[in-house]
Structure 1
Amino acid sequence: MHDYFTITGNSCRIPFADLCRRDARYQSYFTKKEYQGSQCIHPQGTKINHFGIVVSGILKAVDNTLDGTEMCHAYFEPKDIFPEFLYFSGERYYTYSLYAEKKSTVIWVPVYVMEEMLSKDQQLMYALLLYISQRGLKNQLYLHCLNYQTIRERVAYWIVGMNNLAPNEAVHMPCSQAVLANMLHVSRASLNQELKLMEKEGFFKIVKKEMREVDMGRLNELL
């Protein structure tokens, strides 16, 4: 059984994305755009001039191998921001291609505006640090799930890990099973079958993309 880190505290109750969007002083600089599924938003090598905040839908960061196979590195869901890891590590160009996985809406904030907002608002800066920490822990979660061989174990590890990241919140599923299957490195058909079986056995109930009545004790026993 692996250990998890938990981020708690009153200051993280308001997500970074919400704090950004509700600051009336800067809203005139924000631009909202919609994208269709499979639309390329930024090809690899595009200069980073804006930060994006996902309002709805889901985006993905991809590379293509020499034989043309698509490799997905990350997904960006509602209230996620990007490309924070690239920009704050000193990178000024996209090292991946950014696509809309499905119909999505994004708010774009110029880089210089975001930098000013962060320099003038300590709460916003702290919320950003919490967001980046949580995203890093999520990335570790998906990487560590590969240590488990069966789909059931990977599902259990994911649920327990997501619960530990946000203990007082429901475990939210991604917008589609295909996305979760890619995150867990399993086939969509196999994941769908296992989720139905685990729900039937009483591990959890899936209601409108939320996992409810989760039996954490039984899930932990699988790990």
Structure 2
Amino acid sequence: MRDFFTISENACRVPFADLCKRNEEYRTYFVRRTYEASQCIHPQGTKISCFGIVESGILKAVNNTINGVEQCHSYFEAKDLFPEFLYFTGRKNYAYTLIAEKKSTVLWIPVHVLEEMLEKDQGLMYALLLYVCQRGLKDQLYLNCLNYQTIRERIAYWIVGLHNLSPVESVLMPGSQLILANMLHVSRSSLNQELKLMQRDGYFKIKGREMYGLDEEKLNALL
């Protein structure tokens, strides 16, 4: 049991993406690619032959409705892994179209290589388990935001939820306000206006993408 807890503590300190990139034994199998904004990386139905780790930028998973309207249902940011949910639940093909939302760099690891890495390294396996759990909680967080009617309430719930997942002094916003607006299912202009009002009212301060000086008591009072 002592060995397990040692593994757990080490895995907690180092994100899964970083542990993968440190692996010298399999590093020669890794392939790094850069994609321009709006570039289609994998159309829906593409066979899953590699896992990807986002190193920079942001990707989105989209499907088109019968009327041709694009629906985005997930984003992958720096240090995110994909398509782990599809592959480990038995899907062998992409169930969505993968697109670079911004200029992005992805580290690709062949499926059989990552499976072998996980089989040989318990610490890496544990780090993956932690990542999958945190990813699931984040996805649930964005879904639960829809239970709140006002933009201010959704912003507050998002901030409190992220802070609970990772208790740090500040919260980092996604790559752009448009991405956050899509995640919260509000318009970009309405989100921008509400962020300015909440900053004026002392809920937080904003510098670039960082939200700091969080007043947790005021934020929780909205929920």
- Calculate the TM-score normalised by the size of structure 2: 0.95
Matching residue of 1:159: 159
SS of the aligned residue for 2:149 comes to coil
Matching residue of 1:187: 187
Matching residue of 2:205: 205
Distance of 2:139 and 2:90 partners within structure 1: 20
Taking a change above 3 Å as real, the CA distance of residues 157 and 10 of structure 1, as seen in their structure-2 partners, is: farther
Tell me the alpha carbon deviations over residues 114-155 of structure 1, each in whole angstroms, 9 at most, x when there is no partner. 000000111100000000000000111011110000000000
Percentage of matched positions with identical amino acids: 68
Shift of 1:12: 1.5
Distance of 2:165 and 2:11 partners within structure 1: 15
SS of the aligned residue for 1:147 comes to coil
Shift of 1:26: 1.0
Aligned partner letter, 2:84: E
Shift of 1:170: 2.7
Aligned partner letter, 1:104: S
SS of the aligned residue for 2:98 comes to strand
Distance of 2:169 and 2:128 partners within structure 1: 19
Distance of 1:175 and 1:50 partners within structure 2: 25
SS of the aligned residue for 2:164 comes to helix
Tell me the alpha carbon deviations over residues 170-206 of structure 1, each in whole angstroms, 9 at most, x when there is no partner. 3110010000000000000000000011011111011
Shift of 1:169: 5.6
Distance of 1:169 and 1:89 partners within structure 2: 35
> Where do residues 132-147 of structure 1 align in structure 2 (5 Å cutoff)?
132-147=132-147
SS of the aligned residue for 1:53 comes to strand
Distance of 1:65 and 1:169 partners within structure 2: 40
SS of the aligned residue for 1:45 comes to coil
Distance of 1:14 and 1:181 partners within structure 2: 30
SS of the aligned residue for 1:48 comes to coil
Distance of 2:95 and 2:171 partners within structure 1: 31
Matching residue of 1:73: 73
Superposed structure 1 runs of 4+ greater than 4 Å apart: none
Matching residue of 2:121: 121
Contact 2:51–2:111, Cα closer than 8 Å, also in 1: yes
Matching residue of 1:148: 148
Shift of 1:10: 5.7
> Where do residues 41-80 of structure 1 align in structure 2 (5 Å cutoff)?
41-80=41-80
Shift of 1:13: 2.0
Tell me the alpha carbon deviations over residues 91-112 of structure 1, each in whole angstroms, 9 at most, x when there is no partner. 0000000000010000000000
Distance of 1:210 and 1:94 partners within structure 2: 33
Distance of 2:9 and 2:127 partners within structure 1: 11
| Structure 2: tracts of 5 or more residues without a match | 1-7
Aligned partner letter, 1:26: Y
Shift of 1:73: 1.1
The count of aligned residue pairs is 216
| Structure 1: tracts of 5 or more residues without a match | 1-7
Aligned partner letter, 1:44: Q
Shift of 1:208: 2.6
Contact 2:59–2:99, Cα closer than 8 Å, also in 1: yes
Matching residue of 1:94: 94
Matching residue of 2:221: 221
Distance of 2:120 and 2:207 partners within structure 1: 41
